Amino acid sequence: WARHSKLQFREINSDDADILIYFEKGYHGDGYPFDGLGQILAHAFFPGTGRGGDVHFDIEEIWQLIGEHLKEDGTSLFAVAAHEFGHSLGLSHSSVPGALMYPWYQGFKEDYDLPDDDKYGIQQIYGANGRLWGKNYGDKHVHKTTLNPSYPPKYTTTTTTTTTTTT
């Protein structure tokens, strides 16, 4: 997000941070319970006071980290976190398939770069940083990482679907 906007991030160890990150399960005090493995992976709150900006991940998912070989039943923590942080920054879901802010989990892609729809969205809120990034520009290395409504909802979730076959 910072690569394509005027945003700057820094990690702090404080409950006063703009974005607090939690790993929770089931009912965890915010009115939006998790369902265990599958379906609801995480949710985030739009910027604001109280829980505004906070991100909650379902601890019962099989989270995979960058550099690990993704298991078929695993979920990329980077991909989900990047999506949820988009909500923390004020972005709603996108109707563009392939966009990071598309409402369905799309997995992790090597040599990930933020899709154009997401770049334009974050720049509409925070402005462009004026730098060009990517394989042929100032950032010599592409890092391997994983319709705004008038009144955006107070939270959003990332979901996935699973199919179970029994014989």
Catalytic residues: 84
Category of 26 on φ-ψ map: left (φ > 0), alpha (ψ -120 to 50) or beta: left
- Rounded-to-integer distance, Cα 119 and Cα 9, Å: 17
Judge whether 110 is annotated as a binding position. no
Judge whether 87 is annotated as a binding position. yes
Q: What are the φ and ψ backbone dihedral angles of 157, each rounded to 5 degrees?
A: -130, 160
Judge whether 52 is annotated as a binding position. yes
Q: How far is CA 155 from the centre of its chain?
A: 13
Name the 3-class secondary structure at 158. Answer: strand
Judge whether 113 is annotated as a binding position. no
Q: Are 83 and 146 in contact (CB under 8 A)?
A: no
Name the 3-class secondary structure at 164. Answer: coil
Judge whether 54 is annotated as a binding position. yes
Judge whether 141 is annotated as a binding position. no
Judge whether 36 is annotated as a binding position. yes
Tokens 């920054």 sit at which residue? 89
Cβ neighbours of residue 113 under 8 Å, at least 6 residues apart? Answer: 133, 134, 142
Judge whether 58 is annotated as a binding position. yes
Judge whether 143 is annotated as a binding position. no
Annotated binding site: 18, 28, 30, 35-36, 43, 52, 54, 56, 58, 61, 83, 87, 93, 101
Annotated binding site for Zn(2+): 28, 30, 43, 56, 83, 87, 93, 101
